[in-house]
Amino acid sequence: MIVSAVALSALAGVVSAAPRMGPRGMRPNEPAVFGVPPIVLYDPVTNKTTESTDYSLLPPHVTSPRFRLFLNPDGSGETKEEARAALEHLEAAYDCFVGDLGWNSTGLSVWNNEGKEPYYKTGISLIANVGGNFAGLAHYSTRVWIQINSGSLYPSLTVHEWAHALQWHQGNGWPSMDTYRVWGEAFAQWVADTYLTSDLCAAARAKHSLPAGDSLFNPYTTTARSYLAIVDGSPRDPITGGNNYDAWPFLTYLTYNLDGWKGMGRDGVMALTQQTPLGGNNETPLHVLQKVLGDSATVQQVVAKYWARMAYGDIGHPAVQRQTDESINSLNRDMWVRVSDGEYKSQPGRSPRYMGASYARLLTNGDQPYTEGPGNQTSRVKVAIKDATGPYTATLVVRNKDSKEARYVAMPDGTVEADVSSREQATVAVVNTPPQLLSYVGVNMYGTPRNDSTLAPESEWDPANREITFSLSVSGGEVSIPHTVT
């Protein structure tokens, strides 16, 4: 996947301007081939453990310089050739994130920061059923090991699970802290998508003769459900399910850093992980982001600009922009209810929660969702937000249909006037931006589950799951909602 020139320019500018945030990744003493950890044997009679190097005791497996993959013990599932092919992707991901980008090595102990002990291969086991409806799981003691369902040995999953291991090795692993854990899946998806698609990993993929892959982006889960809290770990469900597997584009936005935020860019996500305080301090990655930004900007400004750019997928990731374009006529049209001509109110259940967004797709110059109006026209569009039940940040996004270039017009008082030509399209992005960052776990966003599967009263919901509502007044166009189709 080719990263746009503007994205690479922004990446280069930020990396040259900001110091690396203390990476301890590929050290000079790191061996080309990692060792094999001894087998630990337990004697129930003496209640003692001993170490053995009799590797004939192990089930069938294949190895690569930094990984060891155990095949399904019953002989079913992947062959050794398929397993070796899977390890090639993991080696490439390691070369990218540890070798090129400077993340801590997964060959060391989780808690070792000095690199003085042996480097051991990361163990991966194929089993018939991981359980819990998961395709893979990462576990840890002093070292991380991975389990993957037989038949699921594809790079988007194997690199995702290895990304959890990578997360553990950054000093203060997000999976170990309640208010960070919900971000773990977004992080793992970001690693997998970056490996598959980004020029940041192009050299590593080429080293292993591997092509770029398909993006993990799904506009119908990320953009269409933009109203959810920025990361929501609610159990997967068609009605109340969260977005933690689909929130990774925010990390991609910070990585490509088209807006030049301080401390972001190529090393931005690493900065968030390695500057996480010991124990977490009951904070979230957004709190760490604010520390990295310092006085240069607020998290609220960053998140608001992220959602404004996501209106048309303009975050520096070509696949995100392309897939947004392909589905734009079907996105976010369920977020509004028409009250009268030019007057709309936000749809209950589709209004923005903590750091989430509502989009109002505007139809101007005679456009309809699937058809364009006559050319060579210009509409004077006026928008006003009224009756908001909480703080928000709003932006009018106007994008050229041909060049895909967008202009972002701030709405500091909730109002805006702008000319929109027939060669442009426009969207209002309204983001729930409370003045104080929230500390939230993000798992039981709808309160304690009831035995009868009904939702708890809204008063018991996590504060991060409470939406703000508002009204919208529009002239010079109309909001695209289902019944506007003729």
Quick one: average pLDDT of 72-93? 92
* Nearest CA among 194, 233, 241 for reference residue 213: 194
pLDDT digits (tens, 9 = 90+) for 333-390: 999 999 999 999 999 999 999 999 999 999 998 888 878 888 889 999 999 999 999 9
pLDDT value at residue 454: 76
- Enumerate domains of the chain plus CATH numbers: 5-216+257-297 (1.10.390), 329-484 (no CATH)
The pTM assigned to this predicted structure is 0.91
329: part of which helix (H) or strand (E)? none
Higher pLDDT, 103 or 12: 103
Helix (H, G, I), strand (E, B) or coil at 356: coil
- pLDDT tens digits along 329-348: 999 999 999 999 999 999 99
DSSP-assigned states of every residue in 115-173: --SPPBPEEEEEES--STT-SEEEEESSSEEEEEETT---HHHHHHHHHHHHHHTTSS-
How far is it, in rounded angstroms, from Cα 430 to Cα 383? 12
The average confidence (pLDDT) of the chain is: 88
Question: Which band of pLDDT confidence, cut at 50, 70 and 90, is reported for residue 114?
Answer: low
363 phi/psi in degrees, rounded to 5: -105, 120
Q: How confident is the model at residue 446 (pLDDT cuts 50, 70, 90)?
A: confident
DSSP assignment of 89-125: HHHHHHIIIIIIT-PPPTTS-TT--S--SPPBPEEEE
Q: Which of 238, 135, 225, 245 is nearest to 182 (CA)?
A: 245
pLDDT, tens digit (0-9, with 9 covering 90-100), for 472-484: 999 999 999 986 4
Token couple for 147: 């389990």
